[in-house]
A and B are shown apart, each in its own frame.
Chain A
Amino acid sequence: MSAGRYSIGIDLGTTHCALAYIDSQESHEDHLVEAVLPVPQLTAPGSVMPKPLLPSFLYLPHPDEFRPTDLTLPWTSDPSRIGGELARAQGATTPIRLVSSAKSWLCHPDLDRRAAILPDGAPDEVPKVSPFQASVHYLAHLREAWNLNHPQDPLEVQEVTVTVPASFDPAARELTAEAARAVGIANLVLLEEPQAALYSWVNDSHGNWRGQVRVGDIILVVDVGGGTTDLSLIAVTENQGALELTRIAVGDHILLGGDNMDLTLAHLVRTKLQADGVELDRWQFQALTHGCRQAKEALLGDPDLGAVPVVVPSRGARLIGGTVRTELTRDDVAKTLVEGFFPDVPATSRPTTRARSALTQVGLPYAQDPAVTRHLAAFLARQAGATLDLAGFAAPVVGASFLHPTAILFNGGVLKPNLLQDRVLRIINAWLEAEGAPPARLLSARDLDLAVARGAAFYAHARHHGGVRIRGGTSHAYYVGVEAAAPAIPGLEPEIHALCLVPFGLEEGSAPVSPHQEFGLVVGEPVRFRFFGSNVRRDDQVGDLFQDWPVDELLEMEEIQTELPAEGRNAGDVVPVRLQAAVSEVGTLELTAIPSAGGEERWKVAFNTRGNAG
């Protein structure tokens, strides 16, 4: 299929979505024609307004709540589902009908992500949608917005990049790709968000990026969005005299972001108000959270401000006299936000974890430690050996307890204030100094809210029209669990060995890999395999079998499963197969079972996104 006229980048975020594009037909090498699509959305009943960001919220209204005609969009839409700004505003007062953070649910390992489970905890009467359907809804909204403005060049046939967190597991990536296919996107690739942020930086440098980095640089991308913290390391390497970028490591999925910070401040201010005998209802608390966010941004943006007033309007029409005035002080922000989320800790500190109570409701696995800097320290320490195999990199300093980054790129709305950027940079540089390493430089990025969408559009363009590419392949090595052949002992689980199925860094579109070991599949019955991933074991080869491993190196993921259809065989027969893995051009991991006896038959091995609990 010929390339479409436009190269499109879609940031499918936890709290916001955005679509950026490059007119590839009108662009040439040193001048890219790029823009961000204004997305028409309901901002109030009966009122539609184009905005650069589409809030990732879905509101499921009561049939009597709105007149259907007040929910019309410039395209045919379903009045039982409201997206965007009105959804967010309406959900502030009626949270039981609001679907939020669908993306975080999309990678929840213990739940069926295709089951209608959202809004979480809503009464039975409220209709529900699945995390997958919510993602489809946001993408469909962006598609309609695009097609309204570009009727001659529908989204379906353009080159589209959809971003995913670097920490998304293969199953969540697969679901994202499926959601994109469900809205008709034919030419799709997935891109990790921190990579997109780096592409945006490369694009903004207009070719000068080569002057700002050199071979041997290790760029740490710190992306703190509304709901998640995403970390990646990208090394600057050389290939035939040209600079190359290689993504060498990604962090774990950390549910910690700006929303936590604003909520923390709002709780602090509410406590102050309670001490004065002022009680706020839910609506007012929402207004307080909003006010705290603005006050926080003002305080972080201007070091001379001592305090910023926060006003909470009365809910009724009695505005004067009913409005509560309080203030957020520099001290509040410094103690709660800066010390709470970005504490000055040594490089040896680690996030605290507490055992979850056995009766925990199944909710989102929010990070237990709110300190971004502790998560950073743990990530860098875990990846201390990430550059060992890279050509052009000096061996790590003897005694280095963590990987030493040489440059830092910040992304995400939380890190907009220079004060926070400076602080994180200063803390990391103190760690570096303690180990005798030179300080890391700051790579200056612009437009931290839209960088991911813009970087994704740049990537879609570069794929077809030339330009720098970040290499990397899979961010994990993957393993299947095989039972050791041993005499059964009553009461003891058979020992599990890990068979390496996918090596670390398997690149998109490269030849499939297949361990030589055979498995017996029972015809007509679903067969499940335990599945493991590791983001540190870089040297394991396909077919390597491990009897034991350091407990924190292999993380068990959801099971994978396959079923051989009974046609042409006797149910219950055992067919010997080999497993094969490949990374598709889209960027998803594809597992297949192929008969050892040869033949053309192939069976898909699927990620069990229905949850391990069931």
Chain B
Amino acid sequence: MPDQKMTFVGRLIVGAKWTGRVIRRIAIAFLVFGRALWDTEYARAFNRGLKLPRQTTVPAATLDHALPDAALLLLGLLQKEGRLIDFLQQNVGDFSDQQVGAATRVVHQGCRKVLDEYMTIVPVRAEAEGARVLLEPGFDPTAVRLTGQVVGEPPFRGTLVHRGWRMAELRLPQVASGHDLTILAAAEVEL
């Protein structure tokens, strides 16, 4: 069964002319973008991470243009199920906390449904937050970000502040070729 699922997903991706790698990166990029927008601490930490001194030179990167399709698809899903765009396009300041709260339930329930249905997101580290963790030499700095007294040589010992999130599986719908993904939500006209 698992390999069957893989061939199905494989067909799905090839059919839509994306590679799994790109889709995954786009989705992660989207989530990082979203979180950076909402979470000041996260954004700051991210900024710090970019300013880490580099010890060796690295060749100039070949920067890929992210294909917009997966981002549009995901935004469309978050709007359809969780009314995310409706929510963000409104001015929260005009409403009482109670009204915002009621709407937030719709957004939370729906966006949560999208996460549950279309992706499997697991913590990067299995330990509980606050636990002491050991980082062996050669750990993946993309998956684990060091903060605080970053000195010396690995293995590093530290406290897990955030468990991180990893996209374990992304199951986005197949899209019919020619389908206009820029329509995130169709206008509705009742006859």
A residues at B contact (CB < 8 Å): 35, 38, 40, 43-50, 69-72, 74, 93, 149, 294, 309, 311, 313, 315, 317-321, 323-325
Contacts and interface: CB of A to CB of B under 8 A. Distances in A.
Given A311-B102, A311-B105, A320-B87, A47 B176 contact: yes
B86 A318 contact: yes
17 contacts: A35-B1, A40-B174, A46-B175, A47-B73, A48-B176, A49-B171, A49-B173, A49-B174, A69-B176, A69-B179, A313-B83, A317-B89, A319-B83, A319-B90, A319-B106, A320-B94, A321-B103
Contacts of B179: 45-47, 69-70
Contacts of B80: 44
Contacts of A324: 102
Given A313-B106, A319-B90, A321-B95, A46 B8 contact: no
Given A149-B8, A325-B105, 7 more contacts: A38-B8, A40-B174, A47-B173, A71-B176, A72-B176, A309-B105, A317-B86
Contact of A48 (B86, B106, B174): B174
A35 B87 CA distance: 40
B144 interface: no
Contact of A321 (B5, B83, B99, B106): B99
Interface string B103-118: 1011101000000000
Interface string B149-191: 0000000000000000000000101111111110000101010
B65 to A, nearest CB: 23
A47 B174 contact: yes
A69 B103 contact: no
Nearest to B86: A319
Contacts of A71: 176
With most chain B CB atoms within 10 A of its CB, the pick from A44, A46, A294, A321 is A46
B134 interface: no
B100 interface: yes
B92 interface: yes
B99 A320 contact: yes
Contacts of A49: 171, 173-174
B56 interface: no
A contact face: mostly helix, strand, loop, or mixed? mixed
Interface string B67-97: 0000001001000100100110110101100
A323 B107 CA distance: 11
A69 B95 CA distance: 41
Interface residues of B, number: 38
5 A-B pairs with least C-beta separation? A46-B179, A325-B102, A49-B173, A319-B86, A47-B173
With most chain A CB atoms within 10 A of its CB, the pick from B5, B102, B188 is B102
Nearest to A315: B188
A462 B109 CA distance: 43
A355 to B, nearest CB: 39
A325 B15 CA distance: 42
Contacts of A321: 90, 94-95, 99, 103
Contacts of A38: 5, 8
Contacts of A44: 76, 80, 173
A171 B15 CA distance: 44
Contacts of B94: 320-321
Nearest to A49: B173
B142 interface: no
A46 B76 CA distance: 12
Contacts of B40: none
B10 to A, nearest CB: 12
With most chain B CB atoms within 10 A of its CB, the pick from A50, A71, A294, A317 is A317
Nearest to B83: A319
Nearest to A34: B1
Contacts of B55: none
A319 B103 contact: yes
Contacts of A319: 83, 86-87, 90, 103, 106-107
A223 to B, nearest CB: 27
Interface string B32-54: 00000000000000000000000
B4 interface: yes
Given A313-B83, A313-B106, A325-B105, A320 B176 contact: no
A48 B5 CA distance: 15
Contact of A318 (B90, B105, B176): B90
Nearest to A320: B103
A70 B86 CA distance: 24
A149 B178 CA distance: 24
Nearest to A291: B109
B100 A320 contact: yes
B173 A48 contact: yes
A83 B8 CA distance: 21
Contacts of A45: 179, 186
B39 to A, nearest CB: 21
A453 to B, nearest CB: 15
B106 A47 contact: no
Nearest to B100: A320
Contacts of B171: 49
Given A149-B8, A317-B86, A319-B87, A311 B106 contact: yes
B87 to A, nearest CB: 5
A48 B15 CA distance: 12
Contacts of B188: 93, 315
A441 to B, nearest CB: 33
B103 A323 contact: yes
Contacts of A46: 175-176, 179-181
Nearest to A150: B4
Contacts of B89: 317
Nearest to A74: B174
A311 B8 CA distance: 36
B75 to A, nearest CB: 13
Contacts of B173: 43-44, 47-49
Contacts of B5: 38
Contact of A323 (B15, B106, B177): B106
With most chain B CB atoms within 10 A of its CB, the pick from A35, A294, A317, A319 is A319
B31 to A, nearest CB: 20
Contacts of B180: 46
